[in-house]
Amino acid sequence: MPIKQQKKLLSRKIPVKSIRTQYKKVSPKIIRAIWDKKAYVSLFAILIIFISIHAYTTPTSVTASNTNIRNKTDTRIAQYSDTHITPNAILTDQNLASSFMLHDNLAALVTSTTNNQPSTGIKTVSPAKEYGTWLWTSPRDMTDDYIQSVLSGAQSNGIHTIYVSVDTYLDIFTLPDGPEKTKKEKDFSAALEHFITLAHQKNITVDAEAGWRNWAQPDNLYKPFAIINYIKNFNVTHTEKLRGFQYDIEPYLLPEYVTDEQSVLRNYLSLIDQTITHFNGSDLQFSVVIPDFYDDVSKETVPVTYNGTTAYTYTHILTMLERRSGSTIIIMAYRNFATGENGSIDVSHTEVTEASSGNFHTKIIIAQETGDVQPAYITFNNTSKKYFTTQVNTIQSTFQSYTNFGGIAVHYVNAFMQLN
């Protein structure tokens, strides 16, 4: 059924007269029986009609018989940015890679003006729980009308944090030094601050987001550290500031992951570890987006030995983030049903429980998908806003008593605003 037709059916009640017309061609004898008041036939017909209507109005979801495909499905889950991202975030510049590995410190490539000076004046709302969303449009491509549309839509839907992509800064970073590069960076920063200013006017905080699957690989480390230095400098040199920085790096999508999972995950952990150290002296919050299978229950990944400790990737990340106050982990628990086997609560329960039962301070945020992606049961794309809200409320009420439950993130703002 076309999406528009499904949404129309979801958003209205079907009157009896409409039902009679709708099913007349399908089952004329049953309809005639109903209206002739033949009770035994009528009851049977009503049952058939109820089942048919339920099929129209119930969103596609995974069933118990589908749970064996959970891991295979989740290991292919990627954010919208995975296919809508600047080539400079994907491709490897061998000259920059060689320079970075030669110096083993991006300070030789990028001059940082922070010098361990904490920034001040960051806009904070301090809500009880996070309700955030992603915005993949680059600041340099946003018009005022577009910004106002996004911010108004986010505000009306209760969103109070936006994770805005800054990957396109790499288009500037990779330019040769000179007046053109300086001007482009200045313009980029002006556009970013403008967006933050307008967001703050609506009591919405802003985090910078960046990442691609290969960023933790040794020949691509110049990318994340170029972004980090830019973000740190931005907050020191601008009045309107970012609340934090977020990695969305999905190394499990790399071809190398299939043949050398240990090395790929170890590189990923090393990047997170180095990033936390690099943020010393800054009050930027740090968050990491991960899938739902880095824990010790799903068994999709193997334990990784890092710095002498063997543990699952999720446990390593939790431990590392204890060094960074205000840190969060966002779990891509993408299902369009909250409860039951393989629902959003089921696939994220281990992460929330481990964080809450241990001596950890990092908050765990549960992410939900609204984009047009497959398989259908991982997204609310073809459902109603009312149904989405019901499922999110169920997640929140289930985890409310867990000390480390940090809230909800919705992927992504443009798709979210299209739910009716």
Per the DSSP assignment, residues forming a β-bridge with 246 are 209, 287
What was the pLDDT predicted at 128? 78
Measured CA to CA, the distance from residue 81 to residue 170 in angstroms comes to 15
408: phi then psi, degrees, rounded to nearest 5: -125, 145
CATH number of 65-417, picked from 3.40.50.261, 3.30.70.660, 3.40.50.300, 3.20.20.80: 3.20.20.80
Domain parsing of the chain, residue ranges: 3-58, 65-417
What was the pLDDT predicted at 42? 47
Closest by CA to 366, choosing from 401, 337, 409, is 409
What was the pLDDT predicted at 75? 59
Q: Where are the alpha helices (H) located in 11-108, listed in sequence order?
A: 16-24, 28-35, 39-57, 70-74, 87-90, 94-103
What was the pLDDT predicted at 81? 60
The answer to whether the CB of 86 falls within 8 A of the CB of 207 is no
What was the pLDDT predicted at 316? 98
Closest by CA to 201, choosing from 234, 160, 237, is 160
Closest by CA to 135, choosing from 118, 170, 108, 159, is 159
SS3 of 162, please? strand
SS3 of 159, please? coil
DSSP letters for 251-308 = GGGSHHHHH-HHHHHHHHHHHHHHHHHHTTT---EEEEEE-TTSSTTT-SS--EEETT
SS3 of 410, please? strand
Q: Which residues of the chain have pLDDT under 50?
A: 1-35, 37-46, 48-58, 62-70, 106-126
Measured CA to CA, the distance from residue 167 to residue 230 in angstroms comes to 11
163: phi then psi, degrees, rounded to nearest 5: -100, 105
Closest by CA to 148, choosing from 227, 94, 81, 202, is 202
Closest by CA to 207, choosing from 169, 247, 161, is 161
Contacts of 313 (CB under 8 A, 6+ apart): 265, 268, 269, 290, 294, 301, 304
What was the pLDDT predicted at 98? 83
Contacts of 196 (CB under 8 A, 6+ apart): 123, 206, 240, 241, 242
Express each pLDDT in 146-201 by its tens digit: 999 999 999 999 999 999 999 999 999 999 999 999 999 999 999 999 999 999 99
Closest by CA to 248, choosing from 216, 300, 279, 290, is 290
Handedness of CA 171, 177, 181, 182 (dihedral sign): positive
| Packed helices 39-57 and 28-35: angle between N→C axes, nearest 10 degrees | 120
What was the pLDDT predicted at 56? 36
What was the pLDDT predicted at 299? 85
What was the pLDDT predicted at 84? 78
What was the pLDDT predicted at 277? 96
Considering the chain, what percentage of its residues have pLDDT values greater than 90?
70
User: Could you tell me the pTM of the whole model?
Assistant: 0.80
The answer to whether the CB of 73 falls within 8 A of the CB of 334 is no
